């Protein structure tokens, strides 16, 4: 296999590892969210006059955002695994060039080559 082609077995292992890690992270954040929600319902419902209530509301917002990001990441990982099956893995979705193997090592679920990724104004890093 030429060196500029991603190794599908290596990529699959990396994606599966990342999926396990991301799921575990999401599970622990979901558990934390449940405890925050429980704590908030035990505290007074009046957030505006209860400092603890607003802290909990803030933490809840952060957790919800992190859980959403993890869910999005998991769907990116699933999509990358599908691309591995169809042979489209490692090809930039935007320009059709090969994505550099070093980039795939760092971000196995990436859809874009470094050039297209940096050209995007999106807040997403892949
Ligand atoms: Zn590209």
User: 54 CA to middle of ligand 1, Å?
Assistant: 43
User: 103 CA to middle of ligand 1, Å?
Assistant: 12
Over the stretch 57-111, which tens digit does the pLDDT of each residue have? 899 999 999 999 999 999 999 999 999 999 999 999 999 999 998 999 999 999 9
- Average pLDDT of the residues in 40-44: 74
Query: How far is 25 from 51, CA to CA, in rounded Å?
Result: 28
H/E stretch holding 9 reads helix 8-42
Domains of the chain: 8-119 (1.20.120.910)
> How large a percentage of the chain has pLDDT more than 70?
83
Q: Are 66 and 29 in contact (CB under 8 A)?
A: yes
User: 40 CA to middle of ligand 1, Å?
Assistant: 46
Q: Please give the C-alpha separations between residue 81 and each of 11, 13, 16, 17, in angstroms, as whole numbers.
A: 9, 10, 8, 12
> What pLDDT score does 56 carry?
87
């Amino acid at each position: 296999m030429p060196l500029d082609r991603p190794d599908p077995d290596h990529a699959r292992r990396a994606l599966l590892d990342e999926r396990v890690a991301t799921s575990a992270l999401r599970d622990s954040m979901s558990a934390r969210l449940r405890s925050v929600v429980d704590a908030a319902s035990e505290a007074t419902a009046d957030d505006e006059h209860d400092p603890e209530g607003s802290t909990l509301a803030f933490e809840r917002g952060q957790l919800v955002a992190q859980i959403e990001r993890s869910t999005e990441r998991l769907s990116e990982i699933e999509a990358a695994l599908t691309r591995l099956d169809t042979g489209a893995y490692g090809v930039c979705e935007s320009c059709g060039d090969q994505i550099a193997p070093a980039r795939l090592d760092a971000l196995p679920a990436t859809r874009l080559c470094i050039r297209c990724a940096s050209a995007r104004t999106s807040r997403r890093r892949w």
